[in-house]
Amino acid sequence: MPEKTEKTWPRFVRTPEAARLLGLSPRTLEKHRCDGTGPVYHKLGGRVVYTIADLEAWIDACARQSTAESAAGHLAGAAR
């Protein structure tokens, strides 16, 4: 008989913690969210939250091997 495995819920973090994990300021992460260039987020009870998996996926999507590559979804700060 197969064992029942309990569903593990993703760990959610709020904007300040997500920003700390990414090495960004919370405001920069908010700007990325508003511009549509940031990691996937969820709204739970009016609060913006991120899963660790979504933060990791965004980091992976931002990987570059050359400065000549497109910078869409980059980790840089806000435009000056």
Answer yes or no: is 34 within a domain: yes
Report residue 70's pLDDT band, with 50, 70 and 90 as the boundaries: low
Answer yes or no: is 73 within a domain: no
**Structural domain total, the chain:** 1
Strand order across the beta sheet in which 42-44 lies: 12-14, 47-51, 42-44
Report residue 72's pLDDT band, with 50, 70 and 90 as the boundaries: low
How far is Cα 80 from Cα 73, in angstroms, rounded to an integer? 16
Answer yes or no: is 57 within a domain: yes
- Please tell me the predicted confidence (pLDDT) of residue 7: 75
Answer yes or no: is 71 within a domain: no
